[in-house]
Amino acid sequence: MKRKDERTRHQLLSAFWISVLLILILAPLALFFIDRPPAREFWREFSVALGFVGLSLMGLQFIPTSRLPFMLNTFPVDTLYLIHHWSSILSFGFILAHPVVLVLNNPNVLRLFNLFTAPWRARAAVVSLLALIVLVVISVWRKELFIKYEPWHWFHILLSVAAAGLAYWHIFGVGYHTGILSQRVLWISYGVVWGGMVIYVRLIHPLIQLANPYEIVEVTEMLNDSWTLDIAPKGHEGFRFKPGQIAWLTINRSPFLIREHPFSLASSAERLDTYKFTIKNLGDFTSKIDEFKPGTKVYIDGPYGTFNLDRYPAPGYIFIAGGIGSVPMISMLRTMADRGDQRPVVFFYGNRNWDEVAFRDELAKLKDQLNLTLVHVLEKAPEGWEGEVGLITPEVLHRHLPEESAEWISFICGPDPMIPFVKQGLEEIGVSQGQIHSELYKMA
């Protein structure tokens, strides 16, 4: 009953915030029809409606990326960023459709695209659209363009703020619909909220972090080209977290600089003297983890995330991880061990070979402390290997899961291609979608 009530509460909370966001997105369109100036020709008004929806959708992108606790602890973190990614593209489509429809309706509108002769309100619209085009290109094809994360993040912020600001210049410069008091109040209110999100993320939040510093107390080399950072609070009590959650780390940099990166906590939630983060060398920032020394200053933004053990009480659990995706699982297992939790866990752990199995020795010890069934799945098995080989297929799952596991909660963490493959396998053996929770390696 407790599990059902908890799930219902989370579903209602998610539905509430989704409804709020939809209302905020569609409010300009509703007001467009309710309180408006004298109507002009249909296609002209239709293009304006498209632009308004696109602008409201674009501005609301500042909210899911602002790391507001009520959002990040209601929706999965990677889901929020995926929604942000696709809704940004949808927003761009609406905004692009606005001038396209105008030109198709009246080709004379093309003269407004001349940045040398057009009025300033039109120039602002054109430059805003160009900023959005660049933003979409560098976001969708960042890796193909070989743009590193940090400079991309700077460009992403600057282009987003510039595009929104110039769009506001345009709609208030035209002034036809924003000349109506209700619409003017609505758009000014939106601008205040969106601007507030930027100020919160780039000023208020860094000030809070600055007042609560941490420092590295130990750096330990692990298998699989990974390192564990033990980080302790400096002059304050630190924070409590739930096993499986993530936090953003800023290491040896000011929290005002955009050099923060998300990582899962590897610690037991019952031990708060230090916080463990096990990080694999995947390039960019992570390639320098081994260079950090004890005493290095760290700022932590978190914890966040719905991917955690305490959120989903169940009679048992299925853990499935690929490579360094085992970090949130080790946090959960360490926490269960410290709590004396003997609920059954079956942990399927996929790696390329035996030498890359992170936490290998500790997992063997945890197996003796917990009601843990550990299933290693190797792509390339060593000579004499008697365990599973290949991928974590439905057949592998079926061989090791008891019948009652259909009522358990499943946690999956690993690289992008692994998630849908394993989800499908769980569903094939009778685990419902509502009992499966996943988290990807990367969110940007």
C-alpha–C-alpha distance, residues 180 and 177, integer Å: 6
pLDDT at 441: 58
pLDDT at 68: 78
Cβ atoms 331, 269 nearer than 8 A: yes
Which of 87-101, 245-259, 282-296, 302-316 shows the lowest mean pLDDT across its residues?
282-296
Confidence class for position 245, pLDDT limits 50, 70, 90? very high
Q: Looking at per-residue confidence, does 21 or 362 come out higher?
A: 362
Whether 102 has a pLDDT exceeding 90, the answer reads yes
Domain with CATH 2.40.30.10 in the chain: 214-304
pLDDT at 2: 53
- Percent of the chain at pLDDT exceeding 90: 56
Whether 443 has a pLDDT exceeding 60, the answer reads no
Which of 297-306, 340-349, 425-434 shows the lowest mean pLDDT across its residues?
425-434
Whether 40 has a pLDDT exceeding 90, the answer reads no
Residue with tokens 């569609």: 26
Q: What are the residues whose beta carbons fall under 8 Å from the beta carbon of 310, sequence distance 6 or more?
A: 242, 243, 269
Q: What is the pLDDT of residues 151-198, one digit of tens each?
A: 888 888 899 999 999 999 999 999 999 999 999 999 999 999 988 888
Q: What is the mean pLDDT of residues 240-250?
A: 94
pLDDT at 207: 93
Residue 310 dihedral angles phi and psi, to the nearest 5°: -70, -20
Q: What is the mean pLDDT of residues 303-328?
A: 92
Q: What is the pLDDT of residues 174-183, one digit of tens each?
A: 999 999 999 9
pLDDT at 4: 59
Which of 130-139, 175-184, 254-263 shows the lowest mean pLDDT across its residues?
254-263
Work out the mean pLDDT of the chain and round it to a whole number. 89
C-alpha–C-alpha distance, residues 224 and 340, integer Å: 29
Which CATH number does the domain 214-304 belong to among 1.10.760.10, 3.40.50.720, 3.40.50.300, 2.40.30.10? 2.40.30.10
Which CATH number does the domain 309-440 belong to among 3.10.20.600, 3.30.565.10, 3.40.50.80, 3.40.50.2300? 3.40.50.80
**Beta strands, E only, 207-287:** 214-222, 226-233, 246-251, 260-264, 275-280
pLDDT at 444: 43
Q: Between the CA atoms of 406, 409, 413 and 419, what dihedral angle is there, to the nearest 10 degrees?
A: 40
C-alpha–C-alpha distance, residues 326 and 57, integer Å: 36
Residue 437 dihedral angles phi and psi, to the nearest 5°: -130, 135
Looking at the DSSP assignment, which residues form a beta bridge with residue 226? Answer: 222, 280
Confidence class for position 276, pLDDT limits 50, 70, 90? very high
Q: Which of 137, 126, 134, 117 is nearest to 99 (CA)?
A: 126
Residue 279: how many other CB atoms lie within 10 Å: 22
Residue with tokens 């048992």: 316
* 76: preceding bond cis by omega (within 30 degrees): no
Q: What is the pLDDT of residues 5-33, one digit of tens each?
A: 666 777 788 888 888 888 888 899 888 88
C-alpha–C-alpha distance, residues 229 and 298, integer Å: 11
Which of 7-11, 69-73, 291-295 shows the lowest mean pLDDT across its residues?
7-11
What type of residue sits at position 408? W
- Percent of the chain at pLDDT exceeding 70: 96
Domain with CATH 3.40.50.80 in the chain: 309-440
pLDDT at 249: 92
Q: What are the residues whose beta carbons fall under 8 Å from the beta carbon of 307, sequence distance 6 or more?
A: 76, 77, 244, 245, 246, 328, 411, 413, 437, 438, 439
Q: What is the pLDDT of residues 187-244, one digit of tens each?
A: 999 999 988 888 888 889 899 999 999 999 999 988 878 899 999 999 999 999 999 9
What's the Cα-to-Cα distance from 318 to each of 131, 195, 236, 310, 398, rounded to whole Å?
45, 43, 36, 14, 12
Please tell me the pTM assigned to this model: 0.84
Whether 357 has a pLDDT exceeding 80, the answer reads yes
